[in-house]
């Protein structure tokens, strides 16, 4: 069993270790409640089913079970055994195996190199060789596989994607797939960090991060319990061009997933206490980014390519995040989170007629609360001469180099031709060879 935590520089690692110890002590002294036990079982079941939705994952699971246990049905027996676990079983295992005498604790504390101090890293560089050889013919691979007689199968006609809009402009895409008893939710809201140009850098990120921290009728804890008790995953992530919605659930839990989504998109309250915690977490994340040469170099490149008045230029800083107030999030939520700027996609095991009706019930009354924000993306000008920026991070001995220039719009007819040109000739030859071999095998 592994635990991990990332602390801000102001926090004590001893405090984190002590907190983990107190949790295990409580489990050893007090058995889980029926609700807690059922929640854990549902999460394990949902996690297993959801991570095995595609044939690649299913094949890996079968191979893993057969290799480690000699029984490719092991996972089925494993799930059945989980249902038989009692609170006393959990308490006994914690008491037996999770004592402090069995702990191995590792701590990583970043340090900075003193000026003039030689690097502690070896000077010899490691080189990775990625050799691309001629692809192997499928018949050569088949010689090592067991001979099986596959039963005749009926061709399965793929379901068509159904698209529609609610009266308020919310766009929906539905794709029925009964192959597994699961549902995947993916969405996009035009409320990304590009709008930081009109507010304050960091507002869009914190707004998305606080959506699940409270609504008009539920606290952050209640929302978390509602999702965790049913093994549902629901997350919001702010990117430059929008806020991504990701949700996963067993098919029978789809109503709860949709109801929770509708509630946080229309009735989020952004409690002050939760906002302050997320603000501190964001500051910690920014400090980690500033210490990462790869991420920091990418940031410097983007700030150099785009002028200050361009939506792709601004990045959150500790100063801008510390200046953000709760009301900034409320104002941005009211102007940017609107139905006409939202797309929802559902793929999985559901009745499309029932889902359409449910979506209309949940989102049909959703209306903008304020005039929408207007954002334009001016075309960046190419620099008259090559620009060079050297962003030094104290204590880092490696060098990360980025080369870049403003690209063309994705809707430009030349876009995909440019993508093809960016593909190395080696990759093109490799793909072409595989295509030829595959065509021969099919013939």
What local confidence, expressed as pLDDT, does residue 443 receive? 44
d(CA 70, CA 81): 18
Token pair belonging to 283? 């500051």
What local confidence, expressed as pLDDT, does residue 264 receive? 97
Closest C-alpha to 347, from 336, 358, 359, 355: 355
Longest CA–CA span in the chain (Å) reads 72
- pLDDT tens across 341-356, in order? 999 999 999 999 999 9
What local confidence, expressed as pLDDT, does residue 326 receive? 96
- pLDDT tens across 258-305, in order? 999 999 999 999 999 999 999 999 999 999 888 888 888 899 999 988
CA atoms within 13 A on the CB side of 402: 19
Share of the chain above pLDDT 70, in %: 81
Please name the residues in contact with 302: beta carbons below 8 A apart, sequence gap of 6 or more.
Answer: 312, 313, 315
d(CA 306, CA 252): 47
Token pair belonging to 402? 């980025």
CB atoms within 10 A of CB 403: 6
d(CA 329, CA 199): 10
Q: Are 87 and 37 in contact (CB under 8 A)?
A: yes
Q: Are 50 and 246 in contact (CB under 8 A)?
A: no
Q: Is 70 exposed, middle or buried (0-12, 13-18, 19+ CB in 10 A)?
A: exposed
Cα separations in angstroms, 215 against 36, 260, 262, 263, 362: 23, 10, 11, 7, 15
Q: Are 208 and 236 in contact (CB under 8 A)?
A: yes
Closest C-alpha to 265, from 212, 196, 219, 222: 212
Taking the alpha carbons of 267, 270, 274, 280 in that order, is the dihedral positive or negative? positive
Q: Which band of pLDDT confidence, cut at 50, 70 and 90, is reported for residue 136?
A: low
Flag whether pLDDT at 130 surpasses 60: no
d(CA 350, CA 287): 44
pTM for this model (two decimals): 0.69
82: helix, strand or coil? helix
Token pair belonging to 356? 């359409």
What local confidence, expressed as pLDDT, does residue 146 receive? 63
Flag whether pLDDT at 53 surpasses 80: no
Instruction: Write down the residue that tokens 């036990």 correspond to.
Output: 37
Listing DSSP states for 54-75 in one string gives SHHHHHHHHHHHHHHHS-TTHH
Flag whether pLDDT at 249 surpasses 80: yes
Fold of 13-102: Cytochrome Bc1 Complex; Chain A, domain 1 (3.30.830)
- Domain 162-363 indexed as CATH 3.20.20.60: no
Q: Are 58 and 99 in contact (CB under 8 A)?
A: no
d(CA 308, CA 160): 44
- pLDDT tens across 149-173, in order? 655 555 556 568 999 999 999 999 9
189: helix, strand or coil? strand
């Amino acid at each position: 069993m592994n635990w991990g935590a990332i602390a801000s520089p102001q926090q004590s690692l001893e405090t984190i270790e002590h907190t983990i110890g107190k949790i295990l002590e409580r489990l050893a002294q007090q058995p889980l409640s029926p609700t807690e036990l059922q929640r854990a079982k549902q999460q394990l079941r949902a996690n297993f089913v959801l991570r095995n939705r595609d044939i690649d994952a299913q094949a890996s699971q079968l191979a893993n079970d057969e290799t480690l246990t000699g029984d490719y049905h092991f996972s089925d027996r494993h799930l059945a055994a989980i249902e038989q676990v009692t609170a006393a079983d959990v308490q006994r295992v914690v008491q037996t195996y999770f004592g402090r005498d069995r702990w191995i604790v590792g701590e990583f504390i970043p340090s900075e190199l003193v000026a003039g101090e030689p690097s502690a890293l070896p000077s010899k560089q490691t080189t990775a060789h990625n050799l691309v050889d001629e692809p192997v013919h499928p018949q050569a691979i088949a010689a090592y596989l067991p001979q099986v007689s596959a039963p005749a199968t009926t061709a399965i006609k793929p379901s068509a994607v159904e698209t529609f809009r609610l009266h308020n402009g919310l766009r929906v895409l539905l794709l029925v797939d009964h192959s597994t008893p699961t549902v995947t939710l993916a969405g996009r809201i035009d409320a990304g960090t590009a709008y930081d140009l009109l507010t304050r850098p960091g507002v869009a990120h914190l707004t998305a991060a606080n959506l699940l921290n409270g609504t008009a009728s539920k606290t952050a804890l209640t929302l978390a319990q509602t999702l965790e008790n049913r093994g549902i995953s629901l997350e919001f992530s702010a990117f430059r061009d929008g806020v991504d919605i990701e949700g996963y659930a067993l098919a029978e839990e789809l109503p709860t997933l949709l109801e929770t989504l509708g509630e946080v998109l229309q009735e989020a309250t952004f409690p002050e206490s939760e906002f302050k915690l997320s603000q501190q977490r964001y500051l910690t994340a920014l400090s980690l980014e500033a210490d990462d040469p790869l991420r920091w170099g990418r940031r410097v490149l983007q700030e150099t390519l785009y002028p200050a008045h361009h939506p792709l230029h601004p990045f959150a800083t500790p100063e801008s995040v510390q200046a953000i107030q709760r009301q900034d999030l409320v104002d941005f939520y009211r102007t940017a989170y609107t139905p006409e700027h939202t797309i929802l996609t559902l793929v999985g095991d559901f009745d499309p007629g029932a889902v359409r009706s449910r979506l209309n019930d949940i989102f049909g009354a959703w209306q903008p609360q304020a005039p929408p924000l207007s954002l334009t993306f001016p075309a960046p000008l190419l620099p008259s001469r090559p620009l060079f920026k050297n962003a030094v991070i104290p204590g880092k001995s490696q060098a990360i180099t980025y080369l870049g220039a403003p690209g063309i719009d994705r809707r430009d007819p030349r876009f995909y031709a440019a993508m093809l040109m960016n593909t190395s000739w080696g990759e093109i030859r490799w793909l072409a060879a595989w295509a030829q071999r595959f065509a021969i095998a099919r013939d």
